[in-house]
Amino acid sequence: MGNRSMRIRIPSGSKLYIFGSALTSARPCDLDVLVTYDPLACPPEDAYEIHRDMVLDLEGRYGLPVHLTLLTLSEESGTEFIKRTSAVEFARARGRPIHSSGLPRGGR
Amino acid sequence: MPEYNSWGVSYSIISFFGRALEGHDKVRSFERRNDIHFVIEHAKGRTLNVLLLDEYCLGLATVLRAKADFPDVDYVVTGGNWNGYTPEAKEYGRKNGIGIFNTGEFFGALNWSHPKRYYRKDRNGKPIYAYKNP
């Protein structure tokens, strides 16, 4: 596992959120992650590749497989994904139950 | 078999989908490739290439990644009736010949002559889609 005090590198124009069992269980089996991105800064066809290092960083740091949901800003606003899943922005997720298993620290 | 493949689709989702295909009267046979790619011989003779995912909200980027990783695929199905997709993903599929469905819709689509055109209807006959709308 990497140095948890280091910040996660989030591509410019994107925002990282945590949702699902990692927010409610001390022993989550995976890390559900939402990334919202601006399609003008990050073309949808390249979105997975552009966020690949960030995902690897999260997996290495927390030792959990990441289940990534990538939505454009308009897809997120149209679906209200954050509201429906009670997703929490990564940088603000400190103190949640997952914190006892090392999740998450850092963010930006 | 590993519990998860690189797309994070669990064995329980895959086995449920396979069992449902086995019991569907419009499915003549099917073959599973690369864990989540189903090649289905339809009773009416056509072949359907289906990628099975498990996305609560299937977005455009995931459809594009699916098409890049599995060029032969002409259906992307997100497992579970609770899962859905964004209007952008569905629209991209419409314009590019890719059927975008959740599991329940897909098994309904198999009953249509042109499965990609399938949609559910409300009591007034208006289309309803598994959009993850509020």
B124: three-class secondary structure by DSSP: coil
Under a CB-based contact definition with an 8 Å cutoff, are residues B73 and B67 in contact?
yes
Q: What is the ipTM of this complex?
A: 0.88
Contact B4 A65 (CB under 8 A): yes
Helix B87-96 and helix B60-69, axial crossing angle in degrees, nearest 10: 40
In tens digits, what is the pLDDT along chain A, a chain of 108 residues? 334 446 789 999 999 999 999 888 888 888 999 999 999 999 999 999 999 999 999 999 889 999 999 999 999 999 999 999 999 999 887 656 554 455 554 444
pLDDT 10s digits, B21-49: 999 999 999 999 999 999 999 999 999 99
Q: Which residues contact A103 (CB under 8 A, 6 or more apart)?
A: A18, A22, A28, A31, A62, A64, A93, A96
What Cα–Cα distance (Å) separates residue A13 from each residue in A35, A37, A43?
10, 6, 11
Q: How far away is chain A from the Cα of B109, in angstroms, using its nearest Cα?
A: 24
Nearest residue of chain A to residue B85 (CA atoms): A79
Say if B71 is an interface residue toward chain A (CB within 8 Å): no
Contact A78 B60 (CB under 8 A): no
pTM: 0.88
Q: Which two tokens stand for residue A57?
A: 């960083």
B25-56 as b/e: b if 16+ CB within 10 A: eebeebebeebbbbebebeeeeebbbbbbbbb
pLDDT of residue B72 exceeding 90: yes
Q: Which residues contact A102 (CB under 8 A, 6 or more apart)?
A: A1, A4, A61, A62, A63
Mutate to test the interface with B, among A31, A70, A77, A83 (most CBs of B within 10 A): A70
Q: Which member of B61, B89, B132 has the closest CB to residue A47?
A: B61
